[in-house]
Amino acid sequence: MSDQRGQRHQHFETLAIHAGQEADQATGAVSVPIYQVSTYKQDGVGGLRGGYEYSRSANPTRTALEENLAALDGGRRGLAFASGLAAEDCLLRTLLVPGDHVVIPDDAYGGTFRLFAKVAERWGVEWSVASSSDPRAVREAVRPRTKAIWVETPSNPLLGITDIAALADVARTAGAKLVVDNTFASPYLQQPLALGADVVVYSTTKYMGGHSDVVGGALVVDDEALGEELAFHQNAMGAIAGPFDAWLVMRGIKTLAVRMDRHSANAARVAELLAAHPKVTKVYYPGLPDHPGHETAAKQMRSFGGMVSFQVAGGEQAAVDVCDRAKLFTLGESLGGVESLIEHPGRMTHASAAGSALEVPADLVRLSVGIESVDDLLADLTQALG
């Protein structure tokens, strides 16, 4: 796929640090400079020096990130946006026109659900919900005008697993694009394009940035024509990643592989502790052998990631109390940073899905397991559970 760039033979850890990251032509700076600029001097009308004319259309710092993103997912085109939802919005307006239909999963980030239910629907886009862990259910949800099948794997917040290759077959037969939100896994743990997906979506706010200091989003595709259409819409709609945000995401990506290894190792220990705890009624972690998606996850992921959810005996208030008692786990939304976070999805990240097919259990707690000492994390959870 990326043979033309001569990079495909390199390993992920190498690409993460080097793809798109040429030393600066003018100074030799090893870190790509933050080109904090809106416009570029032209040598005569139309005489562009480096191909840049205006930073909404393209900016050298964003280009470096976009080339890096494409290489990491083995695609031909990467595009960086102001947020994950901006990336999703650009994608759905590129793929869908009024009257088209999209199948969305029954477990997904609440904001993605809100984008379809409260925004896209007003513009005439139809959607229906199916469990993406069941390819037959998705096939049955397909309509003549289904243009996209949207999945999130692992999903937010129930850590559901979708067999990407199986869904790619369903999408191909339906003549629809398979869109995979790969935010929880990151390209280090999972490569959706290689498994047959058409579009990979990221909230780069999460593991890609990795330090809870930037909001961003990305799309990666291998189809050049689709990449061009997306780039047209990215420029026409304008929700681009700014130069400093692009730089922060790029800096995060350089350590993505080592961080993900530690996130996964710590989360596996946390899941083990929770599974054995008398106050925990159910643990959602694809690394546990009794998770319904365990085998599929083991087949398509390098390891199982840093997200763990669980239900607490005693109902909603007991779950809220656990969140309130945690000390080292910071009570907050978002995920994927070096620091551990805890939250109550029903009242926080997934409040917008209340009353819908995507409503989450009231006694659910979600953890973003960070890369601190795992012993300290286990001790904090033990005291928070009482």
Ligand X SMILES: Cc1ncc(COP(=O)(O)O)c(C=O)c1O
Residues of the shown chain interacting with ligand X in the complex, contacts defined by CB under 6 A: 83-85, 109, 111-112, 152, 156, 181, 183, 203, 205, 215, 217
- Gap between the Cα atoms of 23 and 244, Å rounded: 18
DSSP symbols for 292-357:
TTHHHHHHH-SS--SEEEEEETTHHHHHHHHHHH-SSSEE-S---SSS-EEE-TTTTTTGGGTTST
Which is closer to ligand X, CB of 314 or CB of 332?
332
- Gap between the Cα atoms of 71 and 254, Å rounded: 13
Question: Which class for 188: exposed (0-12), middle (13-18), buried (19 or more C-beta within 10 A)?
Answer: buried
CB of 205 to ligand X, least distance (A): 4
Which is closer to ligand X, CB of 103 or CB of 385?
103
Q: Which long-range contacts (CB under 8 A, 24 or more apart) does 43-46 make?
A: none
CB of 334 to ligand X, least distance (A): 6
Closest chain position to ligand X (CB): 84
CB of 108 to ligand X, least distance (A): 7
CB of 109 to ligand X, least distance (A): 4
- Note if 109 is an active site residue: yes
- Note if 54 is an active site residue: no
CB of 153 to ligand X, least distance (A): 10
Which is closer to ligand X, CB of 156 or CB of 309?
156
**Of 147, 177, 206, 259, catalytic:** 206
**Of 40, 52, 56, 302, catalytic:** 56
- Note if 56 is an active site residue: yes
Which is closer to ligand X, CB of 7 or CB of 73?
73
Which is closer to ligand X, CB of 163 or CB of 181?
181
Helix (H, G, I), strand (E, B) or coil at 18: helix
- Note if 181 is an active site residue: yes
- Segments in the chain forming alpha helices (H): 12-18, 60-72, 84-95, 110-114, 135-141, 164-174, 186-189, 224-237, 243-254, 256-275, 294-300, 315-325, 374-385
**Of 89, 100, 181, 363, catalytic:** 181
Q: Mind telling me the catalytic residues?
A: 56, 109, 181, 206
